[in-house]
Amino acid sequence: MEVEASFRVASRINCKEVPYCNPICNYRTLNLRFPYHHRLPHLSNASVYTLKSCYCKAVAKESSTEVVEKGRKMYSHDIKLSSLTALCPLDGRYWAKVKELALFMSEYGLIRFRVLVEVKWLLKLSQIPEIPEVPSFSKDTETYLQGLIDGFSLDDAMEVKKIEKVTNHDVKAVEYFLKQKCQSHPEIGKVVEFFHFACTSEDINNLAHALMLKEALSMVMIPAMDEVISAISDMAMENAHIPMLSRTHGQPASPTTLGKEMAIFAFRLSWERQDISEVKILGKFAGAVGNYNAHLVACPDINWPQVAEEFVTSLGIDFNPYVPQIEPHDYMAKLFHSIIQFNNILVDFDRDIWGYISLGYFKQITKAGEIGSSTMPHKVNPIDFENSEGNLGVANGGLSHLSMKLPISRWQRDLTDSTVLRNMGVGLAHSLLAYRNALMGIGKLQVNEASLSEDLNHTWEVLAEPIQTVMRRYGVPEPYEKLKEVTRGRVVTQESMREFIKNLDIPGDAKMMLLNLTPQTYVGAAAELAKNIKTAINLVNGLTA
């Protein structure tokens, strides 16, 4: 019986045999195989259950294999990869915001940097007099080899992947690709077997991963971090003088300024950004287990540790002399932990801004056509900060696993790091997406000074701190206790506070200063701290201006 026909028949039957339905066609299975009830919204849930039960009877004679096969046919599609079918939203919904990372952190980027390392190593060998088998290349040949790096394209990467289908080894596929490219070259063709000379795959991979991170950080991640820090610094300076009620433990506390609170985040983020930029990215090039075994057998008169250090540092990577087969990834753990901390600080910022929007301290600039809620037309939700916070959480989850797992490898190495390393770009991309969302949110903020001032006007009790401090200076006994008696748990107004000040036995100028004090003016050095934030950040970054 056809599914549609079964449905039509079932819709006319009041099935009373639900308990006896074929167990292989239970309610849960039919939720997947029998979606047609969505076309009959007038039916109750009970009716739908009855219809499904009748459908169970219609297929009761089918074997479990037949049922599964029908289900596969019903829901199987030849789905091609697109922005709508990508399993990871970074490659779909969010692609436009993170695509610049793909040049470095994708598999294309990994293959491209593998090619770079292999080519540079051949060039290095040609410069070692003790290896006469690889003579010095002519300028034209060096240019040709450099062109393999500079001109490496997506088509080239696809060719490497085709070779990999045969070799079932990704690094060997790169070696064979380069041999094919250079086989007919008059100079390189004579020495093509020196591609990958004395190398283990990890000699190539660890340097490729190091270069991926180095370029992604310098070209994308750190500039994005700088944008966030700069935007928050601008908020700090623009709002340096706008007084704001502090809330320690969620309760009214000594006033600050909006700008100074933003300056705190800018300064904290700048510290972490600086730590990230100072992490030394390490590389090794010491062979199968880090001892230059094959090197010394083939060419025993060469100082291979020195050659390896020269080669690694020539790529802009710091050299790690003590390694097993892999570079142990400790620097990666340090780097990812630092990014996690940067992200944690930004989560703190996102949540504070979310709260300030909720309090009415910020309005959000609206955009024509945008909808905040599908049912409440008035809403302008802080979605950018919420999206930022959510993606920071996803990023930190991935980066945390990387930082905890990568430094651990059984004996000289196991392969668990290989598949994990392919996810470096995921943590970085979710971080980048979060930075972009935060920046978008900041761009929509508009300070609501009236709301900030109104809050302060209702919290005159915050002046209890300066009053009792002045009382201490002039020897008034039990100043804290006296203020506690008139403020804690009581409604405090401007009048009641001034009445208390007038009755104090303190010098007249001190009394006048307290009488002129308001919650709006009791902000200490907050404004100056906010105005000087960029100078402070420059000092953190080692700059003088």
- Which residues are known to be catalytic? 249, 373
Q: What are phi and psi of 8, to 5 degrees?
A: -65, -40
Q: Distance (Å, rounded) from C-alpha 189 to C-alpha 177? A: 13
- Six-digit token string for 131: 């290896």
Collect all residues with Cβ–Cβ distance below 8 Å to 141 and sequence separation of at least 6: 185, 187, 188
**Do the Cβ atoms of 323 and 284 come closer than 8 Å?**
yes
Opening angle at CA 538, ends 532 and 539, nearest 5: 95
**Do the Cβ atoms of 257 and 242 come closer than 8 Å?**
yes
Measured over the CA atoms of residue 313, residue 317, residue 319 and residue 322, the dihedral's sign is: negative
Q: Distance (Å, rounded) from C-alpha 377 to C-alpha 446? A: 20
Q: Distance (Å, rounded) from C-alpha 378 to C-alpha 208? A: 51
**Do the Cβ atoms of 18 and 53 come closer than 8 Å?**
yes
Q: Distance (Å, rounded) from C-alpha 241 to C-alpha 267? A: 18
Question: Element (H or E) spanning 246, and its range?
Answer: strand 243-248
List the one residue out of 138, 118, 115, 283 whose CA is nearest residue 197.
Answer: 118
List the one residue out of 237, 236, 224, 140 whose CA is nearest residue 187.
Answer: 140
Could you tell me which residues are beta bridge partners of residue 246? 253
Q: What is the CA radius of gyration of the chain?
A: 34
Residue showing tokens 């600050």 = 256
**Do the Cβ atoms of 392 and 346 come closer than 8 Å?**
yes
**Do the Cβ atoms of 119 and 178 come closer than 8 Å?**
yes
Question: Element (H or E) spanning 362, and its range?
Answer: strand 362-364
- Six-digit token string for 298: 């083939």
- Six-digit token string for 93: 């919904």
How many residues are listed for the chain in this entry?
545
DSSP letters, 257-321, are EHHHHHHHHHHHHHHHHHHHHHPPPEE----SSSS-HHHHHH-TTS-HHHHHHHHHHHTT-EE--
Q: Distance (Å, rounded) from C-alpha 536 to C-alpha 533? A: 5
List the one residue out of 408, 385, 361, 416 whose CA is nearest residue 242.
Answer: 361
Q: Distance (Å, rounded) from C-alpha 172 to C-alpha 161? A: 11
